[in-house]
Amino acid sequence: MKSKILIAALLSGVVLAAGAAQADNHRERPDFATLDLNSDGSLSLEELQAQGQARFASVDANGDGGLSAEELIAAAGERASDRAAKMIERHDENGDGVLQLDEMPRRGGGDRAERMFERVDADGDGALSQEEFETAKERRGERGERGDGKRNRG
């Protein structure tokens, strides 16, 4: 039982410590030296917990020891703004500061809608019948109900 608690504490410390580095302007995961607060060449549970506490404190804007919805939203908004700026920087091919549809990154290196369409078009006629559409809708619902981690995240 003690080992389970220690492992859970260690893992939560690592997760919180990674989040602590994201609070900085760099928004990068901390390196070993950053986590090794006493520079002894090893990481203790206390060092990892200290990083998590620092992350918590950086989000706790009013210092009351609790995170309100407003504080969490503000922290998430800062991260979202940073990620949006980086995305534009990476993908803005024409340098106009905005992303056009053809500049948007595509997952999996291809046209996702085309691949989905081909899977749903059971008879391969290049059009979706209402029956094909309803079948695909039912299959998608079944996957979500199964709890595969990709749907119904409350």
Total count of domains within the chain = 2
52 contacts 85 by C-beta, under 8 angstroms: no
The rounded distance, in Å, linking the Cα atoms of 106 and 87 is 12
Whether 8 is covered by a domain: the verdict is yes
Whether the per-residue pLDDT at 68 is higher than 70: the answer is yes
Same domain, 112 and 84: no
20 falls within a domain: yes
pLDDT higher than threshold 90 for residue 104: no
Specify whether 43 is located in the same domain as 70: yes
Q: CA 111, 84, 60 angle in degrees (round to 5)?
A: 135
Among 93, 62, 88, which Cα is nearest to 75's? 62
CA 60 to CA 71: how far, in whole Å? 6
Residue 27 lies in a domain: yes
The pLDDT of 9-36, averaged and rounded, is: 56
Identify the band that residue 94 occupies on the pLDDT scale cut at 50, 70 and 90: very high
When pLDDT is cut at 50, 70 and 90, the band that residue 51 belongs to is confident
What is the per-residue pLDDT for 29? Answer: 75
Looking at the fold, whether 76 and 20 belong to one and the same domain comes out as yes
Question: What pLDDT sits at residue 108?
Answer: 59
The whole-chain average pLDDT of the chain stands at: 78
pLDDT at 92 exceeding the cut of 90: yes
Q: Is residue 135 part of a domain?
A: yes
Provide, rounded to the nearest whole percent, the portion of the chain with pLDDT above 90: 37
Average pLDDT over residues 131-149: 75
Residue 144: which pLDDT band, with cuts at 50, 70 and 90?
low
pLDDT of the residue at 31 = 84
Give the model's confidence band at 140: pLDDT under 50 very low, under 70 low, under 90 confident, else very high. Answer: confident
How remote is the C-alpha of 35 from its chain's centroid?
22
Give the residue numbers spanning the domain of 86: 2-91
